[in-house]
Amino acid sequence: MWKLAIDLGSSMTKIYRADTSSGIVLVEPSCVAVAGEEKEIRAIGKDAKNLIGKTAECTSIVYPVYEGEIVSLRLASAMLKEFLSRVGVKSSALKRAQILFSMPCGASERTQENYRLLAEECGLKKVYFVETPYLTAVASGGAFSESDPVFCLDIGGGVTNIAVVSTDGIIAGVSMNIGGNNMDANIQNKVARVNGLRIGALTAERLKNEIGSLSPAVRGTMVAEGSSVESCRPSAVSVQASDLTDCIRVYADKILEYASMVLKKLPAEVAATVNRNGAYLSGGVMKIPYLAQYIGARLEMRYQVSEEPQYTAVLGGGAIVRDKDMLSAFAKS
Ligand SMILES: Nc1ncnc2c1ncn2[C@@H]1O[C@H](COP(=O)(O)OP(=O)(O)OP(=O)(O)O)[C@@H](O)[C@H]1O
Ligand SMILES: [Mg+2]
């Protein structure tokens, strides 16, 4: 019987197979290319992302899971069905497969209902839902028990989850619609303003991922291509890494405000444990050099960054779906 953990991230979908030793079996952009008024599906996942900015006007790229919410059930289910088939799950096996979905911290009833509908659309019957902080806490590998809560902070493409969680429940937590996408949009605006170049979302993301840094001694440049703001003609400019710092830091600062709010809500004993254990940081955005140091310094707290931060949630999901006890402790069905 198939046992899968699925993280339908705003940017990337990750699938972990737990009934064998396969581990992560799929990592693909969570997007679909659609064409025409009927929004007919043209491509899914990496094939769709490759089309961004290169297609005729009648084709557009849709992210059916936007900021943690399923915004198009039709496209989300087409995408998930395709991913399940790419992983090798035959349609006859869907009914019996055990599937764990990650959900944002404090997901509303409506969000949960949408996930249930999505599972139903895909022919999945044995589904479990776990809020992201449990997944990251399990993946942290540190002490995680009723008396040993973990402070988790996960910054993804569209959502940041911040929570203090013990095996007993989420003691304090919040999820908010801030993530790498906001930083990318900020970079697009800044490059237009400072360099006079209009760039696409993919180029902005590449700038962030390749030269973005919060290092106080940030250096480096990268050539970006786009169209000149002035002449509207194709053009290329060299972008300074130091110009990107602000675009990243404003959102890091917003996230820190929320992190402080969560920490202020803690009962004294929990606060003491959290202070002793430090923060566990994850999510793809945490790959930005010096972001973790910045967060640790501002929170005045020890921290640990997950080894592969973008996979933390799905690795935790894999560990939970494999273990009957953890599944019954953390999952809603
Ligand atoms: N090397 C890198 N440097 C900086 N940012 C990166 C790097 N690699 C990926 N990212 C960013 O991490 C984000 C994706 O992270 P992740 O996969 O954790 O998000 P997600 O799970 O898809 O989304 P969410 O959790 O918000 O729903 C994107 O904004 C991406 O640009
Ligand atoms: Mg995520």
Q: Residue 12 is inside which H or E element, if any?
A: strand 12-17
Q: What dihedral do alpha carbons 48, 211, 287, 16 form, nearest 10°?
A: 20
CA of residue 165 to ligand 1 center, whole Å: 22
Q: Which of 6, 7, 12, 213 to mutate to test the pocket of ligand 1 (most atoms within 8 A of CB)?
A: 12
**Spatial contact of 105 and 9, defined as CB atoms under 8 Å apart:** no
Q: Of 24, 136, 209, which is best to mutate to test ligand 1, by the most ligand atoms within 8 angstroms of its C-beta?
A: 209
The DSSP annotation for 285-310 comes to GGGSTTHHHHHHHHHTS-EEE-SSGG
Residue of the CA atom closest to atom 20 of ligand 1: 9
Q: What pLDDT, on the 0 to 100 scale, is given for residue 332?
A: 84
Cross-sheet strand order for the sheet of 234-240: 197-198, 221-228, 234-240
Query: At a CB cut-off of 8 Å and minimum separation 6, what does 301 contact?
Result: 151, 274, 275, 278, 279
Q: Is 93 helix (H, G, I), strand (E, B) or coil?
A: helix
* Ligand with minimal distance to 282 CA: 1
Torsion sign over Cα 63, 68, 74, 78: positive
Residue 145: per-residue pLDDT: 81
Nearest ligand, CA 179: 1
Task: Give, for all 333 residues of the chain, the pLDDT tens digit.
Answer: 999 999 999 999 999 999 999 999 999 999 999 998 888 999 999 999 988 777 767 788 999 998 889 999 999 999 999 999 999 999 999 999 999 999 988 888 999 999 999 999 999 999 999 999 999 999 988 778 878 899 999 999 999 999 999 999 999 999 999 999 999 999 999 999 999 999 999 999 999 999 999 998 989 999 999 999 999 999 999 999 999 999 999 999 999 999 999 999 999 999 999 999 999 999 999 999 999 999 999 999 999 999 999 999 999 999 999 999 999 999 887
- Cα(5)–Cα(139) distance, integer angstroms: 13
Q: What share of the chain is helix, strand, coil (3-state, %, to 5)?
A: 40, 30, 30
Q: Please choose from 310, 311, 315 the residue to mutate so as to test ligand 1's pocket, defined by most ligand atoms within 8 A of CB.
A: 310
- Strand 169-176 versus strand 160-166 pairing type: antiparallel
Q: Classify the C-alpha dihedral 319-324-328-333 as positive or negative.
A: positive
For residue 318, the model assigns a pLDDT of: 97
Which ligand does the CA of 65 lie closest to?
1
Identify the residue whose C-alpha is closest to ligand 1 atom 25. 156
All domains of the chain in start order, with CATH: 3-134+313-330 (3.30.420.40), 141-305 (3.30.420.40)
What is the C-alpha separation between 211 and 290, in angstroms, rounded?
12
In the chain, which residue ranges form alpha helices assigned H by DSSP? 46-49, 73-87, 109-121, 132-139, 180-195, 201-211, 245-264, 268-277, 291-299, 312-322, 324-330
- Please give the distance, rounded to the nearest whole angstrom, from the Cα atom of residue 7 to the centre of ligand 2: 7
Distance (angstroms) between ligand 1 centre and the Cα of 282 equals: 10
Q: Which of 6, 10, 11, 218 to mutate to test the pocket of ligand 1 (most atoms within 8 A of CB)?
A: 11
Helix (H) or strand (E) holding 17: strand 12-17
Using DSSP's 3-state secondary structure scheme, residue 252 falls into: helix
Ligand 1 shell residues, CB under 6 Å: 7, 9-12, 68, 156-159, 179-181, 205, 208-209, 212, 283-285, 287-288, 310
Q: Which two three-digit tokens encode residue 295? A: 């967060």
CA distance 71 to 137: 27
pLDDT at 143: 73
State the pTM of this model. Answer: 0.95
